[in-house]
Structure 1
Amino acid sequence: MTPQTSTAPLPPGTITSGEHAALEAEPPGPRTGMWRRRAVRAVGIVVLLLMAYLTVTFVQVWRASSEDDVQRSDAIVVLGAAQYDGQPSPVLEGRLRHALSLYRRGIAPLIVVTGGRQAGDTFTEATAGYNWLRDRDVPDEAIRKEVQGRNTFESLAATARFLTDEGLDEVMFVSDDYHALRVAGIAREVGLDPHVSAVSVDGASVTQLGRETVAVAIGRVTGYRRLTRVTG
């Protein structure tokens, strides 16, 4: 026996399964499209602002890398770099030579060498710098050592503590050229009045400038102490 299909009329307003599928397939209404356009526009504006911020920061990093802000100061601070069994690496020796030149010119009566001991090292970076300066007749009383810092922020924060205890706050920093803007920013954050005299042989590379641009851009927003906690 063949089943019979009901042909009774549906109540007014009833939506059939076919009609329901058609409604679901309809494009979003004007209000939904408007919000989507606004969201896309907002994301585009954020991206453009971020690109502008990074571009301005890059230019500032580049300009700082080419400046030599030599002024009479209370102390010359040498940023640490690698050493090999007590012998400064070429990078560290370049910084030490530059600091020694500034010291002999009378820019400051005191040199601070910074940098702790890396894993497996016998000497700290600061001790290697200290020995190098003593071998070149810099008197012991004209040298201070910061031996605990594992990165730039830690070294400068520790240096700031003992310099300010001695009433010293105007500091001439010696580091590589691409590092200049971030060093100055960290120094201000820890309470020092910075000048930077950069060491440069061939000029900063685009990669170095780019890396510093990102670090400075983030550090200015979060603070350099917090940036160090994230990046190590």
Structure 2
Amino acid sequence: MSSRPLIRPDLKHPMQRILYWGIGAVLLSIIFWAGFTAGGILAYMNEGSHRPSDAAVVLGAAVQGENPSPVFRERIEQAVRLYKDGTVRHLIFTGGSRDSSTPTEAWVGRQYAVSHGVRPEHILIETKSVITRENLLYSLEIGKKEGYRTYTIVSDPLHMKRSMKMASELGMDAVPSPTETTAYRSWRSKIPFLVRETVMYMGYTLKGWN
């Protein structure tokens, strides 16, 4: 049985060689950029601040009926801890609903926080946002009306770098507070989240993705 020779691109023409190596250089640059971005996300994931703030902005996540998903619950509990230890005075829950038949993320977050000891008058919600940048933008609008000047952003550790970049570009005086525990405990669950965050961070850098 004879084996067929490997098919190699015909690089005899100078322009073909330039195109071939150009494509290779672009692919290598993208791989390098992705690796550098992923490394930055990992390096930032444990960055946190105990600076007092006027309000904690809790970035929205999925809900399950009237209950927060495990990911969202961790974010809410982190915000409740900040409230109870006096680091923040108020909580702003964010997130709308993609389905009119289900409660908004912000409402679910508020109900959970109240049931865990946060006074209702210390909670504000915005129910319009569906992406991270909107979470922050609409929270900032609420904060300005209330006279808030400083914020603590609460989210998952791997989501923190992109969230803080957005907050900075919106002009928020904000510090990070990643969740102390997370639903993404094993590397089997962390890696897909890291890949997604890497792509989203790169996309946001290029075009302002959410």
Same fold (TM over 0.5): yes
Is 1:220–2:187 an aligned residue pair?
A: no
> Which structure carries more relative contact order (alpha carbon 8 Å, separation 6+)?
2
> Structure 1 residues 41 and 91 mapped into 2: Cα distance closer, same or farther (>3 Å)?
closer
What is the CA–CA distance in structure 1 between the aligned matches of 2:70 and 2:14, rounded to whole Å?
60
Corresponding residue for residue 5 of structure 2: none
Matches within 5 A, 1:161-200: 161-199=141-179, 200=181
Amino acid at match of 2:203: I
**1:68 and 1:197 in contact (8 A); partners too:** yes
SS at match of 2:35: helix
Distance in 2 between the 1:191 and 1:168 partners?
13
Map 1:115-154 onto structure 2 (within 5 A).
Answer: 115-154=95-134
Q: 1:43 aligns with which of 23, 38, 62?
A: 23
Q: CA RMSD in A?
A: 2.3
Q: 1:149 offset after TM fit, Å?
A: 1.0
Asked whether the equivalents of residues 83 and 118 of structure 2 are also in contact (C-alpha less than 8 Å), the reply is no
Gaps of 5+ in 1: 1-27
Instruction: Report the identity percentage.
Output: 29
| TM-score normalised over the length of structure 1 | 0.75
Write the mapping of 1:1-232 to structure 2, written as runs, cut at 5 A. Answer: 33-199=13-179, 200-201=181-182, 202=185, 205-223=190-208, 227-228=209-210
Displacement after TM superposition at 1:128 (Å): 1.4
* TM-score where L is the length of structure 2: 0.82
User: How much has 1:120 moved relative to structure 2?
Assistant: 4.8
What are the Cα deviations for residues 72-119 of structure 1, in whole angstroms up to 9, with x where unaligned?
A: 222101112223332223222221111111111111111111111231
Per-residue deviation, residues 151-206 of structure 1 (Å, max 9, x unmatched): 22222211112213444343211111211111112222322133222223326611
Q: Which has the larger radius of gyration?
A: 1
Contact 1:115/1:147 (<8 A) preserved? yes
Q: Secondary structure at the match of 2:24?
A: helix
- Give the number of equivalent residue pairs: 196
